[in-house]
Structure 1
Amino acid sequence: MYDVVSVGEIVIDFLMCGKGPMGNPAFEMNPGGAPANVVVASAALGAKNAFIGMVGDDLLGRFLIKTLPKFHVDSTGMMQTKESFSNMTFVDIDEGGDRFFNIVGKGTDYLLNKDTIDYSIIDQAKIVHTPIGVARKQPGYDALFGVLEYARKKGKIISYDPNFRPGQFPTMEKAKELFCKGLEYSDLVKVSEEEMSIITGIPEEKYEEGAKRIFDMGKTAVFITMGGKGAYYITKDEKGFVPGFQVDAVDTTGCGDCFMGSVHYYLTHDCGFSMGEIVRRANAAGALCATKRGAFDAMPTLGEVEAFLKTRA
């Protein structure tokens, strides 16, 4: 059995790492991609996870397939294609650690095909997690919603993060359409303030109202992440804002994914914590993620989270 199976894009994030021998800017290839980050995050805490995705039959794709098991994520659901090159982004990081993605090429995630997915991996999942980007084109659209339909029929908990990236969709109207379709299947929803506003039309500063609007669509829990400020959550029994933790941020890549992966870990391991405490711990994990460069490599262990919380009691 798997605690979490994630479906979607996995990418190479090229991060500047100084200068090369000729004096030009040099970039290091780091594994990343929001849905992959999520399962790597909960695996770092101790979850047993798997990932389903499509990469190119190229250097980057082979690197990504080999890398997942090193971070304790099963990669047997990974596929390769010769139709396009693996997803890659060049990441700008400002002095405060905030990151900006420069997406290169068409990528391969949207080439995921519903007829070649190993659904037996979905059968073994407690939670199935997905973003929406893979559905921006065919055959990815049918593949993603086919997985969600299958997972729903199998009674799986479905976790959803739109993972909005400017320029990924032809229009904002199309982005909203896909975001709302993904919501139809979801039980657990994580959105940023911006994504909440896109989905509901409610201004970002009215996040409580926006969270309630999404929750009333029949969700089990809704989380609105606000970076270092913290997160707001709502469930049937609880709701509230949980402040974040101030750290010296180096790179905020993957922090929101780390938050959601942490939520998944605590929900699948019968921890006995209230949702408010789970969110506090997820905030701590996300803060720790920001103190290291990259995505996969920045995900904290359970021991690191516990030690960090003891210093912030």
Structure 2
Amino acid sequence: MKDVVALGELLIDFAPVSADEAGYPTLKAQPGGAPGNFLAALQSYGCSTALIGKVGDDAFGHLLVGTLQGLGIGTEGIVTDPAVFTTLAFVTLDATGNRSFSFARKPGADTCLRTEEINYTLLDDCKVFHFGTLSLTGEPAREATQAAVAYAKKQGKLISFDPNLRKPLWPDEAAAKAQIEWGLHQADIVKISDEEIDFLWGLTPEAGAQKLLKEYGVRLVYATLGPKGSHFANQNGCGEVPSPTGLHVIDTTGAGDIFGGSAMSQFLRLGKAPETLTVDEMAAVTRFACCAASLSTQTHGGINSVVPEAEVRKVL
């Protein structure tokens, strides 16, 4: 049985490593995609995982599948399609390492996953099913995602959700809000950023977390605060954990996904229902996740930036 199965995008992040006199960047190709980053952290920290998604039958698609296999992430749910190209994301970094994205995705392979291509056996055989919103930005992947969520819920699986808002991929903000709201209503565990809470409701992270618990039926919330750390909450209480200081940030790509996967790995070790975690247990889970995510920003990329657990423990 897999601990966690995720559905969604597997793509190539092109990150700038230098620039010429005119400002044109030299780019380095990195394996990425939020679900892939999420699972890479889980796999690195002792969990068994698999991904459901689609890549092109091209060089990048084969590289990505090989990368997951090398990490031990199950790839039996990944479809290779010769009719579409593997999705590409071009990353722009500011002086503090914060990133923005431009996507070559009209369509990209990840948007073309069809309902009949889902490997439902993986959903039968897992503890947690995870998804985000990039697979909800268009059809047929949206219908496939909705079908997978419905199936997993029917099988009694824990549902994990990350809004992972990327505004350029939506036709307008109303469409983004509608799909994020749908995802939040499905979830037991949510990792959401302070910026996403503000985008949805104009609330503080603390108020947003309480809204999710009381109005959406979410059982455990992590509201990340960028470099400041993360707020956490369930029915037993809430709190905040700071990120480690003094690190040299190079690239924040994938840090939120790595936070989510790291937190999930520690949550699963406890063997408890999400709503039964004590404040101390949530704080310990969140502290580990903040450290893992922060350490990942010291190098480029998402999947490849997950640091070994021993390094995280050393910082802790």
Q: Distance in 2 between matches of 1:82 and 1:135?
A: 22
1:271 shift after superposition: 7.4
Residue 300 in 1 paired to residue 299 in 2? no
1:270 shift after superposition: 2.5
Would the aligned equivalents of 1:238 and 1:275 in 2 still touch at CA under 8 Å? no
Residue 35 in 1 paired to residue 35 in 2? yes
Would the aligned equivalents of 1:71 and 1:296 in 2 still touch at CA under 8 Å? no
SS at match of 1:26: strand
Q: Distance in 2 between matches of 1:92 and 1:133?
A: 19
1:289 shift after superposition: 0.6
1:25 shift after superposition: 4.1
1:198 shift after superposition: 2.9
Q: Distance in 1 between matches of 2:25 and 2:99?
A: 17
Alignment correspondent of 1:227: 226
Amino acid at match of 2:184: L
Alignment correspondent of 1:54: 54
Q: Distance in 1 between matches of 2:27 and 2:114?
A: 32
How many residues are aligned here? 304
Q: Deviations over 1:201-239 (max 9, x none)?
A: 233xx2211111111121111111111101111111120
SS at match of 1:184: helix
Q: Distance in 2 between matches of 1:187 and 1:263?
A: 14
Provide structure 1 residue ranges, at least 5 long, that are not aligned to the other structure.
Answer: none
Q: Distance in 1 between matches of 2:8 and 2:161?
A: 11
Amino acid at match of 1:302: E
1:123 shift after superposition: 1.2
Q: Distance in 1 between matches of 2:136 and 2:88?
A: 18
Aligned-residue CA RMSD (Å): 1.7
1:24 shift after superposition: 7.0
Would the aligned equivalents of 1:44 and 1:72 in 2 still touch at CA under 8 Å? no
Q: Distance in 2 between matches of 1:130 and 1:25?
A: 32
Residue 215 in 1 paired to residue 222 in 2? no
Would the aligned equivalents of 2:296 and 2:307 in 1 still touch at CA under 8 Å? yes
Would the aligned equivalents of 2:185 and 2:218 in 1 still touch at CA under 8 Å? no
**What pairs up with 1:1-313 in 2 under 5 angstroms?**
1-18=1-18, 25-106=25-106, 107-199=108-200, 201-203=201-203, 206-216=204-214, 217-246=216-245, 247-270=247-270, 274-309=281-316
1:282 shift after superposition: 0.6
Q: TM-score normalised to the size of structure 2? A: 0.92
SS at match of 2:210: helix
1:26 shift after superposition: 2.8
1:87 shift after superposition: 0.7
Would the aligned equivalents of 1:46 and 1:302 in 2 still touch at CA under 8 Å? no
Greater displacement, 256-265 / 99-108 = 99-108
SS at match of 2:251: coil
Kindly report structure 1 stretches of 4+ aligned residues shifted beyond 6 Å: none
Q: Deviations over 1:40-78 (max 9, x none)?
A: 011111111111111111111111111101122111111
Provide structure 2 residue ranges, at least 5 long, that are not aligned to the other structure.
Answer: 273-279
Amino acid at match of 2:94: D
Q: TM-score normalised to the size of structure 1? A: 0.93
Q: Distance in 1 between matches of 2:138 and 2:103?
A: 16
Amino acid at match of 2:34: A
Amino acid at match of 2:312: V
Identity of aligned residues (%): 33
SS at match of 2:239: strand
Q: Distance in 2 between matches of 1:281 and 1:143?
A: 33
Q: Distance in 1 between matches of 2:257 and 2:29?
A: 19
Q: Distance in 2 between matches of 1:281 and 1:34?
A: 19
